Every structure is written in C-alpha cells, then in structure tokens.
C-alpha cells in the first residue's frame, strides 16, 4: 500500500478500504510496520516493536476497525503474552500477563491490529514523555518542544501518520496534554465509562481513565462506541448513551451554553497566542449559534494541587512496592527515578487524616463544578497555557525538594487538566489552531459528568468549521518515506 494513501486515511477510512477489498489487511499492517519504524528512529516513540505479526485481532474478527493498525501505551492495558514495562527500569525486561485486560479484549473485538507498545514516563507520572528506561520522546512538529505526556509515544505515532489512532490513558491530563502538543483529538471519558477490569477497580482513587488519541472526531466516536461499558465487579459505571456516539456527528447538535475562561490558574501565564486562539474559537462557537460568555469557576488551584499530590502519592507508594516485589528490584535510584521515589516516600507517610482531607477537597471541587455546570453545558479553556515549552522543562531547577513541588511542576503548564480527573467528568482537547510558527494549539472543552455526547457533537461542529486534517508535522511518514526513497537513488 502506498504510504501517502495509507497516511491520508483515518481509521474509519482504512477499515472501509479493507472491508471493500480495495486493500488487504496484510498490506495495511506491513505499511504500518514500515511507517512506525521510519519515525521511531527519529522520534523515539516505541518501547517494544514494531511487531511482524498481529498481536490482536486474529483472522475471522469482524469489527468496525478490522485490520486497522493500532499501538498501545505501555501501561494498564495489556495483551496476554506481551511484555509491558510501565516506563520503569524496575521492569526493564518486561512483565508478561496470562490474560487480556477487558479493554484489550474490546480492542480485539473491534478488529484492531497491534503494531507496537509506546513510550510513557515512569508509571505515567509526568506530563512529559521522558524516562530513564526509554529516553526522550520527541515532538514531530518541533523536536525542541515537549511532546507532552504521559501518552506521548502513542500521540507522536498518530500525529506522524504511522497509525491512525492509539491507546492512551489519563490520570491528570495524559490523553489531552499530548493530544494538544501533537495536534490530535484527545477525549478523556467520564469515570466508569470504560472498564479497568479485571486487574483494577480504580487507579489513583478513581482519577485515571482509559481510552485513546485520534486524528478525527469520527474515529474518536466510533472507537468509544466499540469499547465503552462496565463489567461485573467494576467499582464505577456510567449510564449508556441515549444513542451511538457516531450518531452525534451526523445529527444536528443542540445549541449549548458555553463558558469561556483564560485565567492564569497556576504560576504559568497564558500566552497571548493561546488566548487569541481561545477568543477565535469562542467567536466561531457564537457564529455557530451557541451562547458564549466569559466565566470564572471558583476553583482554588493550590488546594487542588495539594489534594492531588496526596492522591498521587497514595497511589504511587503501593505501586512501587508491588513492582519491586514482582521484579525483585530494590527500591532505590537504580530501579526508580528520583521523582517517583519522592512520591513513594511521601505516600508511605500518609495516614487516614491526610487521606480524608484530600478526599474532602476532591468532593468539594466536584460539588463546586457540578453547581457551575448547572448553568453551563461546556467550559472552554486552553489545554496548555504556553506553546513553546522546552523538552527539558520539567527538569529545570533540578530535582524538586518535595512531591508536591513535583506535582505542581507537572501540572503547571496544564492547570485545569487534573480538574476533570478529580470530578470524573469528560473533557476533550481539539487542535483548532496553530501558532504563527506552525505549532498546534489545543483547546480544552469540559462537560458535565457523562456528557461525552455533547462533547463529540460539538467537536464534530468545530472540525467542520476549523478543519485540521490538512495539517501535518514536518516529521511525517510521507516526508520520511520520500527522503528515504531519495537517499536510495
């Protein structure tokens, strides 16, 4: 299959070509394998692979994405028999499970074909995809700018055209942040929308959720249709949508009440070019018939970070202990990174009063946002406060003195991302605009709990009004393939 034809299709388009016999699934997989190889050597997005044979979707599977290449973030979602490393040297040889996670089983039934496992920071505990295990994953738009995290490897491979969509997960912005940095659609579903079973009932006290990054809204909707729903034993569940998510794209969306905010929540001020893009999108929404106004939710960002740090460390400590027991690794700087150890050590000091205080703050935040969303259907903010954030920005200033200083540093560029993990409400980042020098600027749209249908309908409207399909990063599989061809002449 020609690389230009391959990279020009989203997952829905590729599935249709395969279904109608215009191209074979084997051709598509071979093209994907070559594409992943071509960009990984430059951008470092793969931790295992590309694989020469299908990991999932055996012959005979007839799903909506049958034969479509897919990659997996190397944490939480795993396939039986495939090693996973979770971004840590403690699992440098990988740990292999004898079963699929429920989400993996649903990816199989959807027909997706596994090509590789992608890079993530250690235990996904960062907003930049940098780790001692796999090094730095680079941004295909500009290698000096962060690719975001923690689903950075998956996002880079989708942005470059190597695969049309990819698994990702989000405990504090880890789907939406790299989606914004790489010019993608990144939906964080509601808590309980997608099962974490059978291995987990919850991760990070319910803050973490599973899903994907895509290039198009229709792929996002169709994939959500294929994988949503809880299973017996899940702690959380979400009511099924009134209709399929893909139907929200073609049906006229209702007029929404959209609040807009560009406040400097953290210590990082919002760039003028980012604020300009928020205002442009707000004008477009108004022209589309929505009610749009400036708002200021009453959220204490410092109190939110303090509570988030407690939950972060409360989750990190037992994870580090379990991995050390499983792998035989010693809990020290040779197996775990210094920032992970900071969170682990603080987690060991936490008692019931500290946890109760954090849970009470999370409840207060959730109630405040629920009241706010009684007046508004959508909250529009920037996904990232700044555009030109260096790859090394989290290392600036050296190793932080405390876990809270580290968590604050991780969240500062994306100050409202964690808000939607705390509340459990869905949020989506859309690549509506680009900076003057060609870097993507993501817009963040948050809805009320279980409001995925509204987000998808609105995203489809904006995709039509402010299209992004024609945008490709300099490091794209089509340019890299052309360069390789020229070099071989």
Catalytic residues: 73, 150, 174
Distance CA 463, CA 175 (A): 19
* 155 neighbors 179 (Cβ within 8 angstroms): yes
* 475 neighbors 39 (Cβ within 8 angstroms): yes
Half-sphere exposure of 5 (CA within 13 A, CB side): 10
Only one residue has tokens 């199989």, namely 108
Distance CA 275, CA 264 (A): 10
* 77 neighbors 172 (Cβ within 8 angstroms): no
Report H helices in 301-416.
301-327, 338-349, 352-372, 403-412
Residue 245 has which token pair?
A: 């998510």
- What does 250-302 look like in DSSP terms, one character per residue? HSPPPP-EEEE-----SSSPPPHHHHHHHHHHHHHHHHTT-EEEE------HH
Taking CA atoms, 341 is separated from 115, 133, 202, 315, 316, in Å, by 32, 15, 22, 12, 9
* 443 neighbors 430 (Cβ within 8 angstroms): yes
Q: Please, which residues bridge with residue 138 across strands? A: 146
């Amino acid at each position: 299959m020609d690389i230009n034809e391959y990279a020009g299709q989203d997952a829905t388009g590729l599935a249709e070509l395969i279904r109608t016999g215009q191209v074979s699934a084997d051709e598509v997989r071979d093209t994907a394998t070559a594409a992943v190889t071509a960009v990984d050597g430059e951008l470092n997005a793969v931790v295992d692979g590309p694989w020469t044979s299908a990991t999932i979707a055996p012959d005979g599977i007839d799903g909506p994405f049958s034969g479509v290449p897919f990659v997996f973030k190397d944490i939480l979602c795993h396939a039986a028999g495939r090693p996973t490393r979770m971004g840590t040297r403690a699992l440098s040889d990988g740990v292999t499970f004898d079963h699929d996670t429920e989400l993996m089983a649903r990816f199989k039934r959807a027909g997706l074909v596994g090509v590789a496992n992608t890079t993530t920071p250690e235990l996904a505990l960062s907003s930049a995809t940098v780790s001692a295990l796999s090094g730095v994953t680079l941004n295909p738009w500009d290698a000096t700018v962060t690719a975001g995290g923690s689903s950075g490897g998956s996002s880079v491979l989708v942005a470059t055209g190597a695969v049309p969509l990819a698994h990702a997960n989000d405990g504090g912005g880890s789907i939406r942040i790299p989606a914004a940095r790489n010019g993608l659609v990144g939906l964080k579903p509601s808590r309980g929308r997608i099962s974490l079973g059978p291995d987990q009932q919850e991760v990070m006290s319910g803050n973490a959720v599973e899903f994907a990054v895509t290039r198009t809204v229709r792929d996002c909707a169709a994939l959500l249709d294929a994988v949503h729903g809880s299973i017996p034993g899940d702690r959380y569940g979400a009511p099924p949508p009134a209709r399929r998510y893909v139907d929200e794209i073609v049906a006229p969306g209702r007029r929404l009440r959209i609040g807009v905010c560009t406040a400097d929540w953290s210590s990082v001020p919002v760039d003028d070019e980012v604020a300009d893009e928020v205002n442009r999108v707000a004008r477009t929404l108004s022209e589309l018939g929505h009610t749009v106004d400036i708002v200021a939710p009453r959220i204490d960002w410092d109190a939110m970070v303090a509570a988030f740090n407690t939950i972060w460390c409360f989750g990190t400590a037992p994870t580090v202990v379990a991995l050390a027991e499983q792998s035989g690794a010693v809990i020290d700087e040779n197996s775990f990174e210094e920032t992970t150890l900071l969170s682990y050590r603080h987690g060991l000091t936490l008692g019931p009063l500290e946890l109760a205080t954090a849970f009470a703050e999370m409840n207060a935040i959730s109630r405040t946002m629920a009241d706010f969303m009684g007046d508004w259907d959508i909250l529009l903010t920037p996904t990232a406060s700044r555009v030109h954030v260096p790859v090394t920005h989290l290392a600036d200033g050296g190793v932080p003195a405390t876990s809270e200083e580290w968590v604050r540093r991780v969240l500062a560029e994306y100050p409202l991302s964690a808000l939607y993990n705390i509340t459990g409400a869905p949020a989506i980042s859309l690549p509506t605009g680009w900076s003057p020098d060609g870097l993507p600027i993501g817009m963040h749209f948050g809805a009320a709990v279980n409001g995925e249908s509204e987000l998808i309908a609105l995203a489809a409207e904006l995709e039509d009004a402010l299209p992004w399909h024609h945008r490709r990063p300099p490091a794209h599989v089509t340019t890299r393939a052309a360069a390789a061809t020229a070099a071989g002449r």
